[in-house]
């Protein structure tokens, strides 16, 4: 008769828990190694270069638009009113100071949303640290591999920098649309003032743009931008960053946005040129000034003409229009590729 040896229940539990724990660690390490392959080093964070700024001028030298980054010195968090960074935390990452770079609660919510949607794009769940990692080192592709790499880099950032340093890096590097990278450049671009002078309402508007710098830009749709800012203000009240009275005061005062760029229609013209100009700028690795044939006066007249036609033919359900004005020597003086660049970037001209 063969003897059978049985481990006591407690020892068996400890044994199998240890075995499974070791294999889990091996799996996690291997998993991290596979997805970490080819990722940039966090030590190279200071070497990340800004995109060259491209300034487009019309035939007389008037400013049409700026693409790429507008330079501005980095801002120290201590120089900003407390409600400025708090606005971003309230709407983007309320548990910022309590997570290790990723937010399990946010990831679970995003997973539930992704489980109910069709298509290849994965949505949401990114903390400010993850957004910083993506902005600095990764592409904007929304797929599982990129999300995992984003998480790995976020953990590395949390191990290397303090929360305050991460928040400062984020505010100084994030894109606000209209060529403005960083809170200082955005404050100058949209409000013509340094970031340290931003009001609660202005801070809320900038924080609201993080959901989509183009979609929520006050330059393309001021009403939509204001509505988004109001959402941020409500989040700030809920997070106890500001009082309900401060929110009400902020909502009651209309924001004065500096609209120094040409109207959005001229961006169809810029897009037309970009395919030729962008490779030159990337190779040069320096800011460029491009003198174009566009005439802003003619462009403005053309925009008004298109608007009149759209209003006149509204009952005919006319939805789109396009226009190109070319002089006798073949130079493009005005170009309108659609009724609204904010709604559709397709150039119908």
pLDDT per residue as tens digits for the range 100-111: 998 887 777 766
Specify the pLDDT at position 50: 59
> With bands split at pLDDT 50, 70 and 90, how would you rate the model's confidence at 294?
very high
DSSP 88-106: HHHHH-TTGGGSSSS-HHH
Residues 206, 271, single domain; the answer is no
Q: For residue 76, name the pLDDT band (cuts at 50, 70, 90).
A: very high
Q: Domain check: are 160 and 224 in the same one?
A: yes
Mean pLDDT of 194-216: 95
Q: Which of 56, 1, 99 is nearest to 296 (CA)?
A: 56
Residues 146, 245: one domain? yes
Tell me the two tokens of residue 349: 């001209």
Q: Give the end of a domain, one of 252, 278, 296.
A: 252
Predicted confidence (pLDDT) at residue 262 exceeds the cutoff of 50: no
User: Does pLDDT of 151 surpass 70?
Assistant: yes
User: Between 110 and 244, whose confidence is greater?
Assistant: 244
Q: 278 in a domain, yes or no?
A: yes
Confidence class for position 332, pLDDT limits 50, 70, 90: very high
Binning pLDDT at 50, 70 and 90, where does residue 120 land?
very low
DSSP one-letter string for 102-124? S-HHHHHHHHHHHHT--SS----
Distance CA 277, CA 296 (A): 20
Segment 89-113 mean pLDDT: 84
Q: Which of 9-23, 91-105, 329-343 has the lowest mean pLDDT?
A: 9-23
| 113 and 242 share one domain | yes
Residue 185: per-residue pLDDT: 87
Higher pLDDT, 214 or 33: 214
Are 275 and 133 found together in one domain?
no
Weakest mean pLDDT among 111-125, 184-198, 232-246: 111-125
Task: Tell which wins on pLDDT, 120 or 347.
Answer: 347
Which pLDDT belongs to residue 158?
95
Closest-CA residue to 54 (of 290, 329, 304): 290
Give the range among 125-129, 162-166, 344-348 with minimum mean pLDDT. Answer: 344-348
- pLDDT higher than 70, residue 166: yes
Of 225, 252, 279, the position where a domain reaches its end is: 252
Domain span including residue 332: 266-336
Co-location of 198 and 172 in the same domain:
yes
155-171 mean pLDDT: 95
Q: Taking residues 201-221, what's their average pLDDT?
A: 92
State the pLDDT at residue 123: 46
Mean pLDDT confidence for 162-177: 92
CA distances from 92 to 40, 96, 187, 269, 304 (A): 25, 9, 19, 34, 39
In CATH, what number is assigned to the domain containing residue 84? 1.10.3810.10
Is residue 294 within 8 Å of 333, Cβ to Cβ? yes
Per-residue pLDDT for 289 more than 80? yes
- Classify residue 3: in a domain, yes or no: no
Look at the pTM and tell me if it is higher than 0.95: no
Does residue 190 lie within any of the structural domains? yes
Per residue in 16-57, pLDDT tens? 777 777 777 776 666 555 555 566 677 766 655 556 677 888
Which residue is listed with tokens 């120094």?
Answer: 260
Average pLDDT, the chain: 81
Interval 121-135: pLDDT, tens:
444 568 999 999 988
């Amino acid at each position: 008769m063969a003897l059978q040896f049985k481990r006591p229940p407690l020892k068996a539990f400890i044994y199998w828990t240890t075995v499974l724990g070791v294999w889990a660690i091996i799996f996690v390490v291997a998993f991290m190694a596979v997805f970490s392959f080819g990722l940039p080093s966090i030590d190279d964070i200071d070497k990340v270069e800004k995109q060259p700024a491209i300034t487009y001028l019309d035939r007389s030298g008037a400013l049409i638009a700026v693409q790429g980054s507008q330079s501005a010195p980095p801002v120290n968090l201590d120089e900003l009113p407390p409600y400025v960074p708090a606005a971003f935390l309230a709407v983007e990452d309320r548990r910022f100071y309590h997570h290790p770079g990723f937010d399990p609660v946010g990831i679970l919510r995003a997973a539930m949303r992704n489980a109910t949607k069709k298509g290849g794009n994965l949505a949401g769940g990114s903390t400010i640290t993850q957004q910083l990692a993506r902005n600095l080192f990764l592409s904007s592709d929304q797929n599982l591999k990129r999300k995992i790499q984003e998480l790995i880099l976020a953990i590395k950032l949390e191990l290397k920098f303090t929360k305050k340093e991460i928040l400062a890096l984020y505010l100084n590097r994030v894109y606000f649309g209209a060529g403005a990278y960083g809170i200082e450049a955005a404050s100058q671009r949209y409000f013509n003032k340094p970031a340290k002078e931003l009001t609660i309402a202005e801070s809320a508007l900038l924080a609201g743009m993080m959901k989509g710098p183009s979609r929520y830009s006050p330059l393309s749709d001021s009403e939509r931008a204001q509505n988004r800012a109001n959402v941020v203000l409500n989040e700030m009240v809920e997070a106890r960053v500001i009082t309900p009275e401060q929110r009400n005061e902020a909502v009651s005062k209309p924001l004065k946005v500096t609209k120094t760029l040409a109207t959005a229609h001229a961006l169809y013209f810029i897009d037309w040129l970009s395919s030729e100009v962008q490779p030159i700028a990337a190779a040069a690795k320096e800011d460029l000034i491009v003198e174009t044939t566009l005439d802003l006066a003619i462009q403005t007249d053309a925009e008004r003409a298109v608007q009149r036609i759209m209003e006149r033919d509204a009952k005919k359900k006319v939805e789109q229009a396009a226009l190109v004005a070319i002089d006798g020597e073949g130079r493009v003086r005005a170009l309108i590729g659609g009724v609204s660049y904010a709604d559709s970037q397709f150039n119908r001209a």
